[in-house]
Amino acid sequence: MLFYVLGGIAVIASLLVVGQRVPMYSVLLLIVSFIGLAGLYVLLDSPFAAVTQIIVYAGAIMVLFLFVVMLLNAPREEALVRSTLGVSIGGRPLRVGAILALVFLAELLWAFWRAGRTTVDAGEAVASVSSVRQIGVELFTTHAFAFEVTSVLILVAMVGAVALAKRHL
Amino acid sequence: MPTLSHYLVLSAVLFSIGTAGVFLRRNLIAILLSVEIMLNAVNLTFVAVGRYIGSVEGQIIMFFVMTVAAAEAAIGLAIVIALFRQRETLNPDAFTALKW
């Protein structure tokens, strides 16, 4: 089934992103994960989401990451797992983090268990959500203010990024 | 036909992978990448639930999350560049100036 193929691509690529030590491979694998997610958006009858996923995420944001990785000539990470696990036995904040991780894991397993027995059908919704025209109308009428604020946010981010990268901290 | 639960579980798994990445990786760029994985997991939830209730709101929220993610990536990477210039390393444990 297509859902499992695309979901598997996304999950495996994300796992490899986290497990990978070379930053360049991490970035490229994340693009694979995003492509899997874009396929899932197509399955969800949301082509607008899929296209923006590819163009904005895989196209723009990941290029930004690639530029920085190449600019900094980032080295391989040194001794990732061993040092982390070695410290986690000692440090108090890390111990709290480990307990938190176990709680989240239990919650996730509980969610799996529940998902196995409750069936909510995603396909039964009747109204079409695939219309890009409908999204545009909603975006520029109901959410017009939020949309304009977003442009201010982007402007602030742009000015901030230039200021931060220029000056020596 | 995958149900809504399938999408929510997949999203939870992706979010957990991203969280684990933030805590386990020792590289500032990899930590930012893990944050992107988490944001994408949340986006998947929004789109799936929006599809389920038959509304375009999910995709609109996803659009806003995406712009915020772009701003976050730009600022975060600028900070990474500034930090790298100062210390010549990407290991977050090397930056302890704010540590008490």
In a domain, B100, yes or no: no
Q: Which of A72, A95, A142 is best to mutate for the B interface (most B CBs within 10 A)?
A: A72
DSSP assignment of A8-26, as one string?
HHHHHHHHHHHH--SHHHH
Q: CB–CB of B29 and A7 under 8 A?
A: no
Provide the mean pLDDT of chain A.
81
**CATH classification code of A1-77:** 1.20.120.1200
The pLDDT value given to residue A87: 47
Q: Is B94 on the interface with A (CB under 8 A)?
A: no
CATH code of the domain containing B83: 1.10.287.3510
Angle between helices B57-87 and A144-166 (to 10 degrees): 10
Tally of domains within chain B: 1
DSSP assignment of B65-95, as one string?
HHHHHHHHHHHHHHHHHHHHHHHS---GGG-
What pTM was estimated for this model as a whole?
A: 0.83
In a domain, B99, yes or no: no
Burial B25-40 (b: 16+ CB within 10 A, else e): bbbbbbbbbbbbbbbb
Identity of the amino acid at A8: G
Report which of A123, A114, A146, A84 is spatially closest to residue B91, judged by C-alpha positions. A84
- Give the residue numbers spanning the domain of B37: 4-94
Helices vs. strands in chain B: H and E counts, helices first: 3, 0
Per-residue pLDDT in tens (0 to 9) along chain B, 100 residues: 788 888 988 998 999 899 888 888 888 899 999 999 999 999 999 999 998 888 888 899 999 999 999 999 999 999 888 888 888 778 887 887 777 6
Among A111-115, A161-165, B68-72, which range has the highest average pLDDT? B68-72
